[in-house]
Structure 1
Amino acid sequence: MSNRREFIVQLSTGAGLALASAGAMASGPMLAESDAQAGALGYKADASKVDKTKFPKYAAGQNCTSCALYQGKASDAAGGCPLFAGKQVAGKGWCSAWAKKA
């Protein structure tokens, strides 16, 4: 599972950088939790509402602003994410692809 997550992160980061350079990540609609991709990755706009039994790797303090994939500033309420191209995620959100920012 770890290798799959690393592959997704690397693939997504490369795709995200390409889109960001084209300006596609600058703004867009907010990602809905009902979105198919959001559901597949367990996205929650409020990380405190993550089902810890379904996602046991979730830990307090993990949210989009502390994720390596988050395109916004740590102080932004929302920002882009290469996993959800063209849509913004909540800074306080979380998904199962969360990866610690370096």
Structure 2
Amino acid sequence: MKSSRRSFLITSVGVAATVALSRQAFADAPKVGESEPTAQALGYKADATKVDKAKFAKYAAGQDCSNCTFYQGKATDAYAACPMFPGKQVAGKGWCSAYNKKA
């Protein structure tokens, strides 16, 4: 029975360390640049108030990444992951044409 507990504890510590390291690695993930091809295709702006409203008529004041269903952080996070830009972070105050309001 002791070896089962020991194995469980060792595995748990390993998993916890892996999760902590992956979170830290993502915290260091690069920010999406507005000049990147995907960002340009989606009309991404790090500051939603600077969206070209003539080109992106879908944009409405108050829409930003932090209240989009794709934003993978808390609404108060300055930057977080978004599946539209794998491996990178978007600005919470940003916007792109994939915007979809959270329910």
TM-score above 0.5: yes
Determine helix, strand or coil for the equivalent of 2:84. helix
Q: Which runs of 4+ in 1 moved over 6 A?
A: none
Q: Which runs of 5+ in 1 are unaligned?
A: 1-22
Query: Residue 67 in 1 paired to residue 68 in 2?
Result: yes
- TM-align CA RMSD: 1.5
Aligned twin of 1:43 = 44
- The alpha-carbon deviation at position 26 of structure 1 amounts to 3.6
Which residue of 1 is the match for residue 34 of structure 2?
A: 33
The structure number with the bigger radius of gyration is: 2
Partner in structure 2 of residue 78 of structure 1: 79
TM-score between the two structures when normalised by the length of structure 2: 0.74
Q: Output the amino acid matched with 2:32.
A: L
1:4 matched to which residue of 2? Answer: none
When normalised by structure 1's length, the TM-score is: 0.74
Q: Which residue of 2 aligns with 1:15?
A: none
Q: Percent identity?
A: 64
Q: Larger relative CO (CA 8 A, sep 6+): 1 or 2? A: 1
What residue number does 2:98 align with? Answer: 97
